[in-house]
Chains A and B, each alone.
Chain A
Amino acid sequence: MKPEGAQATIKSVIGQVEAAAIDEEFELRSNLDGRFFSIRYQKSGLFNIYAITNKNLSLPRESDNLITLESLHPAGKVERIYTGCAVSLEWHQDRDE
């Protein structure tokens, strides 16, 4: 069966989309072995997963879970590890439960 509705939704939002080569601000979503992960999901449907290494960053407080490229330690790095396309996307909320 052809998913007319889903296709129409994506058609209306993706089309031709501009995006920065790398984002400037990252909302930290999880911490594994001292490495942080962030996701950027755009209305276009495009999503990027970033791995962030930042020497001086400890576990973020709930109200302080943003990191910017400016605040990144000189030895830190932001690496885009996955790019995909989704109609809808949700992160698992282990940390907030």
Chain B
Amino acid sequence: MSKDKIRENNELNFSRFAALVPLDKSGKPIEVKEKVETVSKGGFFGGKHSKKAYFVDTNNISKTVLYLYHIYALGSSAKVDVKQKNDKYVEPKKLFGGPFYGIVDKMTEPDFNELITPEIEPLKRDLRSAMGIKLTFFNSDEV
């Protein structure tokens, strides 16, 4: 990325990050629930201490989608906004970052068939078992 582009982004005054976010069955991001537990150290004078634990109901996950977040500084405060959502990915598993993001996704049958040329047609069955995933790219400015 050019220095002009970096300057332009700084002038926009936000930072960005992308995440593959699991959604619940109603289409909302899976909620992380916080629970404070009190634990006894044992013994009469052992006392108690509390610890925080975080829980996610994994049985409630229906789909995983791509979210692009922007972070804004607002005087003494700051906020995080979801700027873009993309649910076109079948089974996204991992993101790679940089000027372009990469997403590891499940390869569908149409994706696979596009790659098969007449020359490698005889190998189709073997290739199908070897090629379970695909990598796609997107520019964060264009999501």
> Given B32, B62, B91, which contacts A83 in the complex, CB threshold below 8 Å?
B32
Q: Does A40 belong to the interface (CB within 8 Å)?
A: no
Tell me whether A6 and B22 are in contact (CB under 8 A). yes
Contact pick for A37, options B15, B62, B76, CB 8 Å? B15
- The answer to whether A3 touches B64, judged by C-beta atoms less than 8 angstroms apart, is yes
**Count of chain A residues with a beta carbon within 8 Å of a chain B beta carbon:** 49
Interface residues of A in 4-58 (CB under 8 A from B): 4-7, 9-11, 14-21, 29-30, 32-33, 35, 37, 39, 44-47, 49, 51, 53
CA distance A6 to B15 in the complex (A): 27
CA distance A51 to B14 in the complex (A): 13
A37 touches B71 (CB 8 A): yes
Decide yes or no whether B137 CB sits under 8 A from chain A. no
**Residues of A with Cβ closer than 8 Å to B?**
1-7, 9-11, 14-21, 29-30, 32-33, 35, 37, 39, 44-47, 49, 51, 53, 79, 81-95, 97
